[in-house]
Amino acid sequence: MARKKSPLGRLSGSAAEAKRRFERDRREREAAGKAAGSIILNPSDVRGQYDAGRVLMTTLGGGIRPLTHEDLASFRRNMQTVGRLSASGITARQIIDIASSGPLLSRAGDIGDLGRAREQIKMAAPIAASVPAQSRHSLDVRFLTDAGPGSKVSRHTVIVRLHGYGEQLRILAAAPLDPDKARAERARTAKQAADALRKGYLAFDCDCERHRYFFRYVATIGGFNAGRDETGYPKIRNPNLRGIACKHVLRVMAELQSSASILSFLERTMAKAQANIESRVSLAATQAEADALAAKQAAKPREIQTTEQRKAIARAARARRSVIAAATVAAIERPPNRIAPATRRLTSGQQEAVAMFAKQFNMNEVDVHRLLGRN
Ligand SMILES: [Zn+2]
């Protein structure tokens, strides 16, 4: 029997593949830093010790030209902006919101990283969770995503470092292992811990070139980098430090926020950690689990919503419920054999709901009233 195709490929070997890519990135960057005539703009250069004799180039303000000391002042201001953005840490929701408010558009008509995440990247499955060597207080979750059209590779690895792990484990340590008992005692359950974890502060890394050349520096100075630190200012590719994450990371953030399967993966990890509180937890997804999740995601890609969009959807749902309630009242109160304008029976709150309903469905209010009158 032919083996069923795995949407994200085989999991065995995926960790080694990611390690190879990250290792190659590290090696190449090290060589670029050491090379005679290196064009890397180091932190000391940005602080003002730049030797203009090096004639480094920048694309700040448009075309490519030699870097000036005024450019360095602009770079320092851009760095402060990034620092303010993430002063207290950054969450999955904030990453999506920032990507929508300041998209990194490289040419006219470009849809930005968020647009590409929505259109091109459909799958993001957690493959393994482990406690990183650097910190017992965090949990690293390795995800696989699909790659965009025209990519040299078929998938990407995104690492998400969840900073709330130590804190959640500390709370779980005092709670009963049995979730029913925990609920009865109003103690924390593994599921609640998992939910807090996915909504909390995090750092990330991706093995794609977009992350490497545009965002690794932003993540490093912003304090939300989970991989190799990048100290060289991206003076050519991203001199304004616009945007925050590549399309793979943005897809992972959207799934992390909303996917029941990912919540369940984190819940299993937290339950395992709670049961073996002294040891470093690790959990791996099976090939069947990853295949099932990726196939589901590919069949019906999740919409990536910003906080503003979530609010607008909730407002529209409330308005819809209100209009339905108003229509029901109107139908009950309408005397038999006489159609009176429904407007007369609506309170100001209901009128407002009609207005919102009309706007949402691009109708005029008279039509909405007519709809109600027929109910
Ligand atoms: Zn990426």
- In three-state secondary structure terms, 216 is helix
* Centroid of ligand 1 to alpha carbon of 15 (angstroms): 16
Mean pLDDT estimate for the chain:
90
Which pLDDT belongs to residue 255?
Answer: 98
Which pLDDT belongs to residue 375?
Answer: 42
* Centroid of ligand 1 to alpha carbon of 297 (angstroms): 18
* Centroid of ligand 1 to alpha carbon of 147 (angstroms): 9
* Centroid of ligand 1 to alpha carbon of 215 (angstroms): 9
Residue 372 pLDDT > 70: no
* Centroid of ligand 1 to alpha carbon of 364 (angstroms): 44
Residues 202-256: tens digit of each pLDDT: 999 999 999 999 999 999 999 999 999 999 999 999 999 989 999 999 999 999 9
Residues 173-190: tens digit of each pLDDT: 999 999 999 999 999 999
Beta carbons of 213 and 110 less than 8 angstroms apart: no
Which of 117, 96, 97, 114 shows the shortest CA–CA distance to 105?
114
Residue 141 pLDDT grade (very low, low, confident, very high; cuts 50, 70, 90): very high
Region label for 62, one of left (φ > 0), alpha (ψ between -120 and 50) or beta (otherwise): left
Residue bearing tokens 């040299």: 152
Distances (CA, A) of 284 to 72, 96, 135, 142: 45, 27, 19, 9
Which pLDDT belongs to residue 103?
Answer: 57
* Centroid of ligand 1 to alpha carbon of 246 (angstroms): 5
pTM of the model: 0.85
Q: Which residues are bridge partners to 58 per DSSP?
A: 65
* Centroid of ligand 1 to alpha carbon of 102 (angstroms): 18
Q: Which residues are bridge partners to 126 per DSSP?
A: 143
Residues 306-330: tens digit of each pLDDT: 999 999 999 999 988 888 888 778 7
* Centroid of ligand 1 to alpha carbon of 281 (angstroms): 26
Residue 374 pLDDT grade (very low, low, confident, very high; cuts 50, 70, 90): very low
Distances (CA, A) of 133 to 201, 214, 283, 293: 19, 27, 16, 29
Q: Distance between the two ends of the chain, CA-based, in angstroms?
A: 57
Which pLDDT belongs to residue 164?
Answer: 95
Mean pLDDT of 145-170: 96
Distances (CA, A) of 316 to 203, 309, 313, 327, 363: 33, 11, 5, 16, 14
* Centroid of ligand 1 to alpha carbon of 336 (angstroms): 64
* Cα–Cα dist 187/184, whole Å: 8
Greatest mean pLDDT among 2-6, 8-12, 98-102, 358-362: 8-12
Residue 331 pLDDT > 90: no
* Centroid of ligand 1 to alpha carbon of 152 (angstroms): 13
Residues 6+ apart with CB under 8 A from 110: 103
List the shell of residues around ion ligand 1, using CB closer than 5 Å. 206, 208, 211, 246, 248
Which pLDDT belongs to residue 2?
Answer: 52
Greatest mean pLDDT among 178-182, 339-343, 362-366: 178-182
Beta carbons of 168 and 197 less than 8 angstroms apart: yes
Which pLDDT belongs to residue 345?
Answer: 63
* Centroid of ligand 1 to alpha carbon of 68 (angstroms): 31
Which pLDDT belongs to residue 354?
Answer: 76
Residue 90 pLDDT grade (very low, low, confident, very high; cuts 50, 70, 90): very high
- In three-state secondary structure terms, 13 is coil
Cα dihedral across residues 91, 95, 96, 97: positive or negative: positive
Which pLDDT belongs to residue 192?
Answer: 97
Name the residue type at position 323: V
Q: Which residues are bridge partners to 124 per DSSP?
A: 145
- In three-state secondary structure terms, 205 is strand
Residue bearing tokens 């099976």: 286
Consecutive H or E run containing 129: strand 124-130
pLDDT more than 90, % of the chain: 70
* Centroid of ligand 1 to alpha carbon of 228 (angstroms): 14
Backbone φ and ψ for 262, nearest 5 degrees, come out as -70, -40
Mean pLDDT of 164-177: 95
Buried residues in 183-211 as b, exposed as e (16+ CB within 10 A): eeeeebbbbbbbbbbbebbbbbbbbbebb
Residue 335 pLDDT grade (very low, low, confident, very high; cuts 50, 70, 90): low
Region label for 142, one of left (φ > 0), alpha (ψ between -120 and 50) or beta (otherwise): beta
* Centroid of ligand 1 to alpha carbon of 210 (angstroms): 6
Distances (CA, A) of 177 to 84, 266, 276, 317: 40, 16, 11, 38
Residues 6+ apart with CB under 8 A from 317: none
* Higher pLDDT pick, 98 / 127: 127
Helical H segments across 225-283, by residue range: 247-258, 260-275
